[in-house]
Structure 1
Amino acid sequence: MQKTVKKLDQNVIKALTNVCELAKQQVLGFEWITHTASYARFPSSLAVICVFDTDASLARAKLEEQDVFLRRQIQAQLLKVGVKLKDARHHVRFDSEQACAAQNNGNWQLRLKTH
């Protein structure tokens, strides 16, 4: 990994860690956050995945518009580290531990590659 790409990835991780800590306190059922990216096509290739404990928690969060809250937080924190997303709806996805367990036997690496 090139030095500039490594620094960029560290900044993305820093921004998403801030969102994660806030979300764990404020969004019921939220568990963790991760990302994937092809830095040759960054930031258009950036995908951020917010993971909830169950499908029911995820559905409740969407009903209460916590998905909007999370997208705004992600967009704001990324902007602080110099990453501008055109439309966070295209970059931020939501998933659950329950769905991963049922569909991918809990294998998140496989799930992230196929989604």
Structure 2
Amino acid sequence: MAPLPTLQKEGFTIDLLEENKETSFSRITNPYDTLYYGALDSTLQVEIWYPRKISVTYTRQRPDPEYLKQFKLPKNVAIQISYIDIKNSIAIKENGYYYDQKDWVNQGYWSWKNIGDQLPLDY
């Protein structure tokens, strides 16, 4: 059996909005596929791009109780979910800094929590 990519090991899943559907997402089984992900150069930066909105789920930690309270969500929500629109490709540095920030629009948990604290260091 092949080892899991880092994102899955870290507890993340990524789903892509299905074409011509407003609310249906399909799992991206390999987020490191060259359709979505690539190395920029020897500076250890990577570039990501998705053609439609993605849903990023983090399964290893419950949402902060304050988040659940603020958005009137049930207290038993067990995962953190964020929705991201990437308007143009995004470059991510090794330290988690990404640019151009104007091309990244997020909703859900990451819109409430600092995104730099959420990305795996080697994404």
TM-score (norm 2): 0.27
Instruction: Choose between structure 1 and 2 for higher RCO, CA contacts under 8 A separated by at least 6 residues.
Output: 1
In terms of fraction of residues, the more strand-rich structure is 2
